[in-house]
Amino acid sequence: MNIESDMPTPLSSAHIKVLGPGCKNCQLLETHVKLALERMGKNLEVEKVTEIPQILAYGVMKTPALVIGDEVVVSGFVPSPRQIQEMLEARLA
């Protein structure tokens, strides 16, 4: 959320991060996020965070994890591209 206006963060300025050490599921989550963005017609950068101290700073104990804006929305599993698209649309529309 954009605190100043209490409106969701615009998709064009959102920070999307995949947290994880680079395991197979972390790579799959990144692929699903990119597919969801492609389906939405958005070309946004997906940042990979692989350093354990940075991952722990988000309070994540199970990877992979997905961060949209500053919110951890997924931790410990890989949602489908459709589920990720719904998360993106709900938080960034």
Q: Is residue 23 among the annotated active site residues?
A: yes
Catalytic residue selected from 16, 19, 26, 87: 26
Catalytic residue selected from 23, 52, 56, 93: 23
Q: Is residue 26 among the annotated active site residues?
A: yes
Concatenated DSSP letters for the chain? Answer: -BTTTTBPPPGGG--EEEESSS-HHHHHHHHHHHHHHHHHT----EEEE--HHHHHHTT--SSSEEEETTEEEEESS---HHHHHHHHHHHH-
Residues belonging to the active site: 23, 26
